[in-house]
Structure 1
Amino acid sequence: MPTFPPLLPGEKLEKVNENISLIRKTDGLTFGTDAYLLAAYVGRSPNSLAVDLGSGTGILPLLLLAREKIGRAVAVEVQAAFGELIARNAALNQMTDRLTPLCVDLRELPSPSLPAECADIVLSNPPSMKADSGKLNPSEAKQIARHEICGDIRDFCRTASSILKYGGKFYCVYRPDRLVDLLDAMRHHGLEPKRMTLVHATANAAPSMVLVEAKKGAAPSLTLTRPLLLTEEDKVTQSEDAKRIYETCSFADFWKV
């Protein structure tokens, strides 16, 4: 196992899979199904530059780089403590030459550090709760991750569009109850939704998340895939679709059906 600086108070080392280990704060941001599915939704482009907006611990670019789905990544994160954590996670997983943390407010992009039309891919798991809605978590990190405090969905889409090359792709996971806001923001900023998948816990459950792929400058034409069911009706057994996606970090076989 690669060497890394000792863990700081309030941190733990977590084994993500056979390829990745992650340092994270015990009372801070975690990762879950949405991160795995978004990484799998990104199309394979081994020579591409990908930018993750609101990267947190850096889990999304780590997953993509470990599977060689992208060539290089920039992890944009507004919180300095998490910018440092991304750098340490890159070192831990021997990816410092391919993963660059950039501590900046995404609303200030593009910038000399991340110029306009530089990226082939942009991805994000943005906050999906309005700044004035719901109960705020005592943790500032969780507030920023869940609520639109440091940018709303239009800010994320504007920045994604500005740093994407023409024809570049934007991948996003979001809450279904705010899907209209997401699609409206995408189109407003020249990102045409091209593929969308609703994710359900079971066949009888309402969708819990939605995955969207948009393309900068594309003509209107949206493919709505069949829904992804995460578990069988017993709510315990992982579905065959979900199992394949987790094993391959890809929706490729799923899209062919």
Structure 2
Amino acid sequence: MDLLKGDERLDYLLAENLRIIQSPTVFSFSLDAVLLANFSYIPKHKGKIIDLCSGNGIIPLLLSKRTNVKIQAVEIQERLVDMAQRSINYNGLQPQIELIHGDIRGLYKEVGHSRYDVVTCNPPYFTTDDRDKINDNEHLAIARHEILCTLEDAIQSASLLLKQGGKAAFVHRPGRLLDILFLMRKYRLEPKRLRFVYPKEGREANTILIEGAKDAKPDMKVLPPLYVFDQKNQYSKEVHEILYGKE
């Protein structure tokens, strides 16, 4: 199997000392995925983890450095599955990460109902209401817009996969917060932790990280804000350590 195809490149994940295959015309991960991987509760030695809407496998790759637990990753686009599998093979992570090429809707029928301790998900952010804003590139359009997977699909699927007390973590946009909270409660995922991410101090939040626990009691904690850049437009200390590791 060729390592790179077309316009693909091999990028570094510096903090984890891993490499990942990316493509500007197919898929490249964003900071959101890195923040979600860092934010999520992850068991160290025991449990079952599954990542939904995995793209090129960025979140499973990042999580592999935080746990010895086996990780499953689900992606519907065959081209992205192929990219992710080559990244997993390159890093020698085949024993730990298993890719599933499939639809998250109804996934529990394939992998099992209420079997997982942790679900992570970076779903498409944008609805399909305004067709003019949808990218002409099919791969990018599916990754960014709710064409094959809606927010409700993601939250419902996470709930069906989780054990009672299991945790699901999502990254999304603040404008969908009320939708997220409503849908999480609808599907028995009680919101427990919420963190707002800001480009820098004095700016509006542009990302949220939220975690819920299945059938848990109400008690949501709003964590301290996360600023991506400081006033000198350099990465903040926290984000720099997430991306590059602690010095």
Shorter-chain TM range is over 0.9
2:205 to 183, 207, 215: 207
Cα distance in 2 between the residues matched to 1:79 and 1:104: 8
Unaligned runs of 5+ in 1: 250-257
Matched, 1:189 2:187: yes
Which residue of the partner structure matches residue 214 of structure 2? 216
Q: Partner of 1:252 in structure 2?
A: none
* 1:239 is aligned to 2:233: no
CA deviation string 1:154-208 (max 9, x = no partner): 1101100001111110010000011111111111100000000000011100001
| Structure 1 residue 13 corresponds to structure 2 residue 10 | yes
Aligned residue pairs total 243
The structural deviation recorded for 1:5 is 3.1
Q: Which residue of 2 aligns with 1:59?
A: 58
Partner of 1:129: 126
Structure 2 equivalent of residue 104 of structure 1: 102
CA 1:136–1:229 in 2, change beyond 3 Å: closer, same or farther? same
Q: Is the 8 A contact 1:64 1:70 kept in 2?
A: no
Change (3 A) 1:109 1:129: same
- Give deviations 1:68-123, integer Å, cap 9, x for gaps: 335111111111121222221111111111111111111122123x1111211100
Write the letter of the residue equivalent to 2:76. V
* 1:119 equivalent among 116, 120, 128: 116
Is residue 203–residue 229 contact of structure 1 (8 Å, CA) maintained in 2? Answer: yes
What secondary structure sits across from 2:136 in the alignment?
Answer: coil
1:207 counterpart SS class: coil
Separation of aligned partners in 1, 2:244 and 2:77: 32
TM (norm. structure 1) is 0.89
Equivalent pairs: percent with the same residue? 32
How far off is 1:224 after superposition? Answer: 0.4
Partner of 1:254: none
Structure 2: gaps of 5 or more residues: none
CA RMSD of aligned residues (A): 1.7
1:228 aligns to what? Answer: 226
- 1:29 aligned to 2:27? yes
CA distance in structure 2 between the aligned counterparts of 1:244 and 1:179, rounded to whole angstroms: 27
In the alignment, residue 77 of structure 2 is paired with which amino acid?
Q
Q: Residue 107 of structure 1: SS of its match in structure 2?
A: coil
Counterpart of 2:236, as a letter, is: S
- Which residue of structure 2 aligns with residue 49 of structure 1? 48
Contact 2:165/2:216 (<8 A) preserved: yes
What's the secondary structure of 1:221's corresponding residue? coil
Q: CA deviation at 1:248?
A: 5.4
Query: CA offset at residue 132 of structure 1?
Result: 2.0
Alpha-carbon offset, residue 32 of structure 1: 1.9
> Map of 1:86-97 to 2, 5 A cutoff?
86-97=84-95
Residue 12 of structure 1: how far off its partner (Å): 1.6
The 1:167/1:246 distance shift into structure 2, 3 A limit, reads same
Residues 75 and 44 of structure 1: is their aligned pair in 2 closer, same or farther, counting only changes over 3 Å?
closer
Return the alpha-carbon distance in structure 2 between the equivalents of residues 28 and 5 of structure 1.
17
Equivalent pair of 2:13/2:243 in contact (CA under 8 Å): no
**TM-score, L = length of structure 2:** 0.93
